[in-house]
Amino acid sequence: MFSSFKQLKSCGRSLRYLSMSRSQLSAQVSAKRYSIADIQELHRQRKPISMITAYDYISGKYAEKADIEVVLVGDSLAMVSLGYESTNEITLDEFLYHVRAVFRGNRTSLLVSDVPFGYFEESTEQAVRTAARFIREGKVQALKLEGGRAVAPTVEKLTSIGVPVMGHVGLMPQHHNALGGFKVQGTSVADAVSILDDCRALEKAGAFAVVLECVPAKLAEKITQNLTIPTIGIGAGPHCSGQVLVMSDILGMGDPSETTMPKFVKQYGDFFSHAVRSLAQYKKDVQRGSFPDVDIHSYKIKKDVLSKFTDKLN
């Protein structure tokens, strides 16, 4: 198969550089990733932090061009990109395949990855081995671990050897069975205190940030005020230090007939409908012979070459 994207990729480094202007080449050479220090500085200045999921080269590129500060290769890719029933089905090797693709597509965002279920819970030794693969093979700058006090020792171990960790409390998709499904967390006094205690344990263990998922807005605000590290909200109201959403949700990539959009999602695009309409139009053009156009989409051959070729046929 042949596409303009593949053609560009196959032209070679020197030809690609020759086609660039001086400013374009300078921008490529000087591209700099956001660092954890940059995120901490945004938090210090009380500037909201933007974070989005990405699962492959092109979604990573979207985030880069939009200047999103943090890109998360989230375990939601199990359902969104691979069609699994839950986030718990994806394997480590499958996950790393997608992490590498995002890294290649995005040169500027802080790259954080979820750790799939079953690859860090067994022991701190297992977590270190898994983290090493993410750092070495996936080129990530940080990992995100679901869990509070229970995973604090693992967070402390990883940060002690130089692996930055982002925490994740409240609704934790990998633990949805234990939590009674996908529902709002922290609605009782005891549960609210438990979430705050989880956040404090992660902060003490060395986490550089924590995701608050599906907790009441006022609770998230109080928790944010009582931590020194940034909070990243998803379904946690406007008072967190930053926000994260699933890219396929906000761009409308999923089939509306199969997707129930969470209340906290704001949809900014309608990729699915646009894609279906475009593909349907392509099919019509092919069937009625209007694509490819002989003058616009086709290559030409010299008359004498065609004549000599025709002679050979005869």
Kindly report, residue by residue over 95-146, the tens digit of the pLDDT: 999 999 999 999 999 999 999 999 999 999 999 999 999 999 999 999 999 9
260 and 227 part of one domain:
yes
User: Is residue 18 a part of any domain in this protein?
Assistant: no
154 and 256 part of one domain:
yes
- Show the domain range for 307: 279-313
The residues assigned a catalytic role are 213
184 and 287 part of one domain:
no
User: Is residue 197 a part of any domain in this protein?
Assistant: yes
Q: How far is CA 80 from CA 92, 105, 168, 177, 191, in A?
A: 17, 18, 20, 19, 30
In angstroms, rounded to a whole number, what is the distance separating the alpha carbons of residues 106 and 179?
A: 34
Question: Residue 233 maps to which CATH number?
Answer: 3.20.20.60
pTM across the whole model: 0.87
User: Is residue 8 a part of any domain in this protein?
Assistant: no
Integer distance in angstroms from the first to the last C-alpha of the chain? 31
User: Is residue 81 a part of any domain in this protein?
Assistant: yes
Q: How far is CA 206 from CA 23, 209, 231, in A?
A: 40, 9, 14
User: Is residue 136 a part of any domain in this protein?
Assistant: yes
Kindly report, residue by residue over 170-218, the tens digit of the pLDDT: 999 765 444 445 689 999 999 999 999 999 999 999 999 999 999 999 9
User: Is residue 17 a part of any domain in this protein?
Assistant: no
84 and 155 part of one domain:
yes
Cis peptide preceding 230, ω within 30 of 0:
no
Nearest CA among 232, 230, 228 for reference residue 243: 232
265 and 285 part of one domain:
no
90 and 224 part of one domain:
yes
53 and 166 part of one domain:
yes
75 and 186 part of one domain:
yes
Kindly report, residue by residue over 239-270, the tens digit of the pLDDT: 999 999 999 999 999 999 998 899 999 999 99
Total count of domains within the chain? 2
58 and 121 part of one domain:
yes
Cβ–Cβ < 8 Å for 184, 171: yes
283: CB partners within 8 A, 6+ apart: none
Cβ–Cβ < 8 Å for 253, 272: yes
